[in-house]
A and B are shown apart, each in its own frame.
Chain A
């Protein structure tokens, strides 16, 4: 039997008695692109951080290729799934490293390439994302926030992950850059068989990149299905969430 790439079962997570996530169940298959939508504070980032092993769920299990993800509670310094890449909502670039050093970090320390090869991979990755060479040796604090975001994406792609999680990748990007990003996510999923989970607030981009969409509301998974079914949903919270987009198009 073939296992799903990612399977989440009965996930529950709370911080100091406030329940953030409850009864979360879903599967993502190889080469599939899942988009998670939901209002601010609905627990999207917490959910994806549980999947990479940065947060330990209180209850429930996460399986990657059928293997249960073990998260050491006292120290979560070793992330179990090193075939997963993660693009943080706030980019999280290393302040003390230049753009190229940020991007070659993963190839060098995660994939154990030597410094020269890692640099070569970083250059390729930067070219792929149209990062102009004049930025290559700058530091994150010198970049605009949208460029930081693109560098963070380049850093995540440079390790050639099997699974990649984007936490609001297009927030703060201009329309052209965000279209290009949607295209890039689509292409990576299709051509390189990457499994992607993308968090977004933008329904149009969700419809474009998703094979399936899941909606979180106050820590519960209230809807999931095909992109084409989203607009037909009769769930009141889903309708409320997508209404602004229906009227604008």
Chain B
């Protein structure tokens, strides 16, 4: 494969993975029309630790599985479309929906009044009880709502469980991370209990012998599909499809398969409830996959090799993002440095202001402003462009300072020599000063590329599934943080070491006039 073909393949892969298709915004005629026309229903979900909702199959992480995956497939089929999942952070799903990154959000979104201001909600498709899990055999474990007062209890942020706990006076610990981390903290004694939805407790607490789930429910929450405001036709179509799936018994079969059929949902769907059936194949598969940690041999020979495709794609995205952002940072940084050193006073102040503003604020804030803030001004960037711009501009400030140091290291006399040779100031900068300044600037630039490579993990915020996000998704679904951590570290080194080596080569090449003089 030539380099060019490789690049094209890489770009194509990234385009499929990252780019939100053009026209994700409400089309004329509404999203329903758009879904029907392109025969594709894009649904947003967070695959991070989301069993049994949406998660990577721990046995083969190339497959997205979960009862909501099957639900989305069934809904899409009824709309005459194919379902396509779009990854987004769970606590940002409604923002991403409003932005137009996908048609619907379908990921355990709780029915709550305050959500109706930002989206439309379908009829509920599932009712979950809030279940309290504690350490087995812990004599001081809180087993009632009264007992959680003053105790540390973990849950997901923005959930009904969180509100219940706060009302009960618990010290609430919320996690942006995956569910498995919430239960790991309980097992490790960092919290005293966890209150979460029935399916989560079933899939994460019940598989750990050290944990037990207290009988009885502490509240009920319902899940619905979220649709953009103004998309009533799509909401109605989804309501109709859900009703149809309930009427034909497909929903019940689906929940049974996943082992999450319960009295609340039966009541919701107007069906009689009998206790859990003996066999829930999907649940059994999950328990088999995560209940017993796989042997090292199995991990090395079977599980890790299966992550190759996912990691390779993520590494391609990470590398492309790093290189293109660095190119932007270098270009903008050079302009800022030149403006700061050679510009007239107002230009200089503007450059200094821009540099300080960018350097003085967290990259995360800048990314949120670019991705979620700019659309308020009518500027909607696609995720890759937003990530590229955020990273590139952020590092432009660092590069500007770096180049300034380089420019200041060149003796003033050099510029004078250049001008006596008949070079204009711009030519002197380009032909004489810049080449020498670069020698000073290259070592810190090498460091910056590596730092940028690592900071690129922040773009998972804008729905780009790069290396770190891929790792945390996989670690959560495969319940293997240490081993996969080493795997992802290897991937980062694979990308970073050649970059660092390139930097050293450049340093050596730029320094050759000094070495030869010494020789």
Q: Determine if chain A interacts with chain B.
A: no
Chain A residues with a Cβ under 8 A of chain B: none
